[in-house]
Structure 1
Amino acid sequence: MAKDKQDQKASPVMVDNDHINIAYSNPSTSALMDMYAKWARDYDRETVSGHGYAAPQDAVAGFAEIVTDRKARILDIGCGTGLVGVLLAARGYSHIDGADLSEEMRAVAAEHGVYRDLFRLDMTDDYNISNRYDAAICVGVFGFGPPHIEHLHHIMGAVKPGAPVVLTVNSAGWKARDWDASFIPHLADYEIELVADTRIRYLTKEDIDGRLIHLRQAF
Structure 2
Amino acid sequence: MSDGSRTVDKVKTLLKPFKDSDLQQTIKLYDSLAETYDQDLDMLTYRAPHLAVDFLDVNFPGVREKVQILEVACGSGLVAKLMAELGFRHFVGVDCSKRMLDQAAKTGLYQDLRQALLGPEPLPAQTGVFDVVIGVGALDAGFAPVSVVRDLCHTARPGGMVCMVRGDHRGAASEGYREDLQRELQLMEDKWLWRPALKQSPR
The bucket for the TM-score relative to the shorter chain is 0.7 to 0.9
Query: By how many angstroms is 1:16 displaced?
Result: 3.4
Aligned counterparts, 1:158-197, within 5 A: 158-173=155-170, 176-190=174-188, 191=191, 192-195=194-197
Sort the Cα spacing of 1:94 and 1:196 in 2 relative to 1 into closer, same or farther, 3 A.
same
- Counterpart of 2:47 in structure 1 is 54
Sort the Cα spacing of 1:173 and 1:161 in 2 relative to 1 into closer, same or farther, 3 A.
farther
Aligned counterparts, 1:11-22, within 5 A: 15-17=9-11, 18-21=13-16
The answer as to whether partners of 1:144 and 1:170 remain within 8 angstroms in 2 is no
Q: Say whether 1:44 aligns with 2:38.
A: yes
Identity of aligned residues (%): 23
Query: By how many angstroms is 1:181 displaced?
Result: 2.9
Query: By how many angstroms is 1:184 displaced?
Result: 3.1
Query: By how many angstroms is 1:101 displaced?
Result: 1.6
- Mapped partners of 2:158, 2:26: distance in 1: 31
Sort the Cα spacing of 1:16 and 1:128 in 2 relative to 1 into closer, same or farther, 3 A.
closer
- Counterpart of 1:83 in structure 2 is 78
Sort the Cα spacing of 1:182 and 1:102 in 2 relative to 1 into closer, same or farther, 3 A.
same
Q: Count the aligned residue pairs.
A: 186
Query: By how many angstroms is 1:114 displaced?
Result: 1.2
Query: By how many angstroms is 1:27 displaced?
Result: 6.0
Q: Say whether 1:127 aligns with 2:127.
A: no
The answer as to whether partners of 1:129 and 1:157 remain within 8 angstroms in 2 is no
SS at match of 1:96: strand
Q: Which runs of 5+ in 1 are unaligned?
A: 1-13, 202-219
Query: By how many angstroms is 1:177 displaced?
Result: 3.2
The two structures have a TM-score, normalised by structure 2, of: 0.79
Runs of 4+ in 1 over 4 A off after TM superposition: 24-27, 196-201
The equivalent position to 2:150 in structure 1, one of 146, 149, 153, is: 153
Partner amino acid, structure 2, of 1:87: L
RMSD, aligned α-carbons = 2.7
